Every structure is written in C-alpha cells, then in structure tokens.
Amino acid sequence: MVKEAEQFAEEDRIARERIDSKNELETYLYDKKSIIDDMKLRVNRISSQGKKRIETTLEEAFEWLDVNPNAVKEDYEKKMEEVEVVWNLVIQKAKSPMKKC
C-alpha cells in the first residue's frame, strides 16, 4: 500500500511538472504575442521580416501546443527554448544601433 502511494505521488509530481511546463509555455507565447501586437520594446525598430519571423514562430508554437496537449515536460521546455532563440535573436538585432533584423 505504501509502495502504491509512493507510485501515485511520483505520477502526480510528473503530471504537475508537465502541466506547469505547458502553462509556462502558453504564458510565454501569449506574452510575446502581446508585446508584438502592442509594439512594445522598440518593436518599431524590428524590420517587417523580423516581425514576421517572430509571428511565424509564435503561430507554429501555438499550433504545436494544439497538436501536443499531452506532451512531456521536456518537450514543452524544448519548444519554449526554440521560441526564445528566435525572439532573442530578433530583439537583440533590433536593439543594436543602426541594425535592423
């Protein structure tokens, strides 16, 4: 009985971590979409190509979430890292003097 309880506790922990990772990714995506939509963080310095790249990356990530509602924690974390790489690259270029991405 104790062994079963430990097993259920472990399953609950894994499920909780998976859900937390999914929620974190969703929040991150909506936050970045809002920033782009509201033209914050000097987004006006982002070229149309850079903005399109971010929008496409966000759309693909939202689609991935729809198709993978029960992915494991590591998959959600990997997807978030992929989006962060694109976001950071475009924003970093936009913040650089005299450069447009």
Using the 8-state DSSP alphabet, how is residue 45 labeled?
A: G
pLDDT tens digit string along 21-46?
999 999 999 999 998 887 655 556 78
Question: Which amino acid appears at position 81 of this protein?
Answer: E
Instruction: Show me where the domains of the chain are located.
Output: 2-95
| Torsional sign, CA 84, 72, 70, 68 | positive
Task: Give every residue of the chain whose pLDDT is below 70, as ranges.
Answer: 39-44, 98-101
Predicted TM-score (pTM) of this structure: 0.81
What is the CA angle 96-97-99, rounded to 5? 70
For the 2-95 domain, the top CATH level (class) is: mainly alpha
